[in-house]
Structure formats: structure tokens, C-alpha cells
Structure 1
Amino acid sequence: MRNDSGHGAADALATIPEIADLPDEIRAELKTICRIRRFAQGQLVTEVGDTNEMVGYVIDGILRMQKTLPDGRQHVVGLLVAGDMFGRVYDGPSPFAIEAAADSEVCVFQRARFEALLARFPELDRLVLLHFLTELDRARDWMVVLATPKVRGRLAGFLLMLCTRYRNVGHLFGDADGRLTIRIPIGRPDLAHLLGARPESVSRAFHALADDGILEILRPDLVAIRSIEDLAEEAGEPELGDGLTVETLAQAAGGAGR
């Protein structure tokens, strides 16, 4: 872990839209207690059972939440991307470990000082509550994905979640000649853990979706989505595809310079 960073505290906080919209007084208080830390891929951010003396936001990179099963296997239970909050406010030990899935930069606050600000500023307290509600929504969506019996359906659900719940994470999306491209933010072994499948099964699922014209494999970590509607149907969640098209998502990605 390194404390030096390309972002200063003020710059880092400005990259988090919800915090950037807070009143100047609150942002000034947050700046005084903010520390920027960098974690190399594979480094632990917090361990299982940590009392979590810090809370923070992901500024850049990907963090994975994982639990160790009784037989020693590690199971990825979720991802944290730019703008996501981590750490347990007003709570005890962490039930899972958090590890950098890629080189990552985070903005951290000493928990007691952050909690003191929550008590002083209702706007900040509301922001944390909204984060928890968003996290709960993601967990519910993920339960639906994992209930899909076929691996290709689970993979489609994962890609659909990237297009919906994570659509504001700029570096994951791009526009290639009007096609929406998605960079898979974790490696195949981690993705297999996340989907409850074997890596070879995930690879077959990618190729099956490609053979059916739902996506195009550009690289092992990069795909182009041909039909959001078909992706949603494959995931068993057609309503999540309502109002979304490859064209509009690709235009949004291109318009943001991605």
C-alpha cells in the first residue's frame, strides 16, 4: 500500500459526484480528514474480522469483496468500483475481506471522525443511507442473477448489471463504431467465482453468447454488446433492458470521452 497518489484530497473528492454536490462546508470538512491510498493488484485493503477503523470511496480501479469458505476456497461476493463506498459505519468487524482486483486508488477517512461528521451534517448522513440502499439493490439484483440455472444466463446477467448498475463507471465502457464495448473488470478466475462456475464454463458461455449474436468477443477482457434486449432476455430480466439500447449507451460512452 502506498500513500502517494496522482490525486490530491480535493481532486479525489471531486471525482465522486455525490460528494462533489455537497455544500462547500461539508466538502471542506471531508477534505481535512481524507487520505489517499493506493493498493497494487492483489493487496488486501481490509481483512475478515477487521474492526474497520476506516471507511472510504474507490477513486480508481476495482476492489473485490471475498469470503473464505470452510474448505479454504475463496469466493468473490461482490465488486467495488469508482464511486462506491466501503467500510462499515456504526458497526463491528467486517464479514469479508476486501482486496484490490486491479491497481486501485481509494480515498479513506478515519471512521470515528467520519461518524462525527455524519452526526453534524444530515446531508452527509443521507448520502451514506442512499449508498446502503444502492448496495442493497445491487445485492437483490445479484441474487436474481445467481438464481439463473445456466452459466450463460448468469454471465448475461453480470454484463447487464454492468450496463445498468455500473453504467457511470467511465473506464468500463466505450464506443467502437456505434457499438457498446464493455471492459470486463476482473479476470476469468474471479469472474468464475462470482458466477459460481468453473473458468472453462465461463469461457464457453462467452462463446455461446457470441455464437448467438448477442455479443462479440474483441479480447478476453473486452466485448462488444450487439443487443441489450437480447442480453436482458438471456439473463431472464427483460424489464432491465427496457429503454436501453446499444446505440444510446454507446453514444453516452463516446460523449464522455470513453
Structure 2
Amino acid sequence: MVGKRTNSRSGACHLGTISQLKDLPDATLQRLEAVCRVRPYDPEQTVIHSDDEPNYVGFVKQGVLRMQKTLPDGREHIVGLLVEGDMFGRLYNGPMHFGIEAATWAELCMIPRPAFEALLADSPELDRLIFLNMLNELDRARDWMIILANQRITGRIAGFLLVLCTRFQSVDHILRLRGGAIEIQMPISRADLSHLLGTRPESISRAFHALEHDGTIKLVRSDLIRIVDPEALVEVAGDDRYVANHSLRELVQILQSRE
């Protein structure tokens, strides 16, 4: 699983290495780095409590975070994931409507909210970044709605794997190419995946084995999945065939360029 502890220098943000921030002007990056602090989080450690009003804006430098909401009956439901490069927090005012916890070991870049908000007024590039982040959040919400609308667990898993291939393709360590096939390093545990997809861990296990039995995927390890038949995966997910297959072909080219 991704999110293993590394030996990065404590306190060094290096915001220019974060995908969402790398195109900002040097002057803007320097002002952000002057107030940025790096914080490590262990698995299961709370980053933000639900209903809190965080006084900082954060970017995921390494690892995976889970966004979760407590249901009226006390159950925790995962509503999304944050991976390397993703932004979190709330600008200007208002509480968070969900909590954020570390799903793996994580390293986060924290910027005080007042300083970030002040810089927004001086940096149209940063303002544009916030707007694009909002659009990305809407896209991710749409993806999860489509996945959860699939009544079959195999369909939900197939949809989740496609999301990893399309939305998370810029994240190192999650995707790689082996023998011309895409391999996915699962970013969360099966227990977390079951919460995310609204089912039980044993149902997740059965669905993975069903997809392997059909020749759609290969379980290299419990946390490493090889896509054997991309077209079959798209069909099981019920996704738009042209768009999904085109995205997978693009992904293969991207992964080839990294080798």
C-alpha cells in the first residue's frame, strides 16, 4: 500500500514539487513557502475533525487521506480520498462537513488560512488554482456517485480501478506499467475500500476474485492489481467505453514515458 514513511527533510515544504502548485510564479511560491510547515501523520491519525473550522489550508505531499462522515447511527462512511497534490481545508469561513484522517502514513504541507487568503488577493494564478480545485472536486464527486450507483460490487470495484487510472495518474507509486499491462498499487486497505464502496470486506474479496476468474484482472498481491483486459473492466464498470478506453490508452503512454 502507498504512503510509506520516507526520509524527507522535516520542515521543508518544496511546494514547487506539488502538482497543483508547480506552475505558480516563483514569487508566489516563495511567499507560500515562507509560512508553510510540513506535518507528518501516522495511519488513523485525525487531520481535521468534522464540524471544525480549520485555520490552515493543506496540500498532500505524500500518502493518502480519507474524508469521512459519521452517520446518525454512529457508523463511519468514507466519502472520498485525498492523494498526493490534493488540496484540503476551507477558505474564508464555515465548518468542515466531514472529517479527514490519514489512511496511510502521510506528510502534509500546512499553510495558515489568513496568509493564504491574503495572497489570493494578490495572485490571479493562485485564484485560478482554487477555481480549478473546485472543478476537480465536482468531478470527483460525480465519479463517486456513478460508482455507487452500480448495484453490483464488481461494477463498483471496476469503477474504482478506472478512477485510480484516470484521476490519480499523476500520483507516483500508485500506477506502473509491467509487460505492457497497467498495475495498480491499492492506496487504501480493503476495509477502507469496503467503507468507500458501501459494502463489507468479504464482499470486496469475493468481487476481486470474480474479476480475476473472468480474466479481467490479476491479483498479483492483495494490494497489487494488474489490469489484464481493460475493455472488459470498462464494460463491468458501465463507464462510457470510448472515453474510458481513450483514457487508458493515454495512461499507458504516460507510464511508458516515465520508464
User: TM-score, normalization: structure 1?
Assistant: 0.93
The one-letter amino acid paired with 2:246 is: G
The one-letter amino acid paired with 2:251 is: L
Cross-structure match for 2:77: 75
Per-residue deviation, 1:239: 3.7
* CA offset digits 1:189-227 (Å, max 9, x no partner): 110010011111111110111111111001111100012
Per-residue deviation, 1:96: 0.8
Per-residue deviation, 1:175: 1.9
Contact 2:13–2:36 at 8 Å: present in 1 too? no
**Structure possessing the higher relative contact order (Cα contacts under 8 Å, 6 or more residues apart):** 2
The one-letter amino acid paired with 1:59 is: K
Contact 2:69–2:77 at 8 Å: present in 1 too? yes
* RMSD between superposed Cα atoms in Å: 1.8
Question: What secondary structure is seen at the aligned counterpart in 1 of 2:220?
Answer: strand
Question: What secondary structure is seen at the aligned counterpart in 1 of 2:57?
Answer: strand
Note the 1:18-97 alignment, pairs <5 A.
18-97=20-99
The one-letter amino acid paired with 1:242 is: N
Mind listing any 5+ residue stretches in structure 2 that lack a counterpart? 1-5
Cross-structure match for 1:108: 110
Q: Distance in 1 between matches of 2:12 and 2:120?
A: 19
Q: Distance in 2 between matches of 1:185 and 1:48?
A: 23
Note the 1:1-258 alignment, pairs <5 A.
6-7=8-9, 12-237=14-239, 238-245=241-248, 249-250=251-252, 252-257=254-259
Residue correspondences, number: 253
Contact 1:56–1:86 at 8 Å: present in 2 too? yes
User: TM-score, normalization: structure 2?
Assistant: 0.92
Per-residue deviation, 1:244: 3.6
Percent same amino acid among aligned pairs?
50
Q: Distance in 1 between matches of 2:67 and 2:91?
A: 17
Contact 2:165–2:248 at 8 Å: present in 1 too? no
Question: What secondary structure is seen at the aligned counterpart in 1 of 2:77?
Answer: strand
Mark the CA change 1:118 to 1:7 in structure 2 (over 3 Å): closer, same or farther: farther
Per-residue deviation, 1:241: 1.6
Question: What secondary structure is seen at the aligned counterpart in 2 of 1:120?
Answer: coil
Q: Distance in 2 between matches of 1:108 and 1:245?
A: 33
Mind listing any 5+ residue stretches in structure 1 that lack a counterpart? none
Q: Distance in 2 between matches of 1:181 and 1:145?
A: 20
Contact 1:67–1:77 at 8 Å: present in 2 too? yes
Contact 1:57–1:106 at 8 Å: present in 2 too? yes
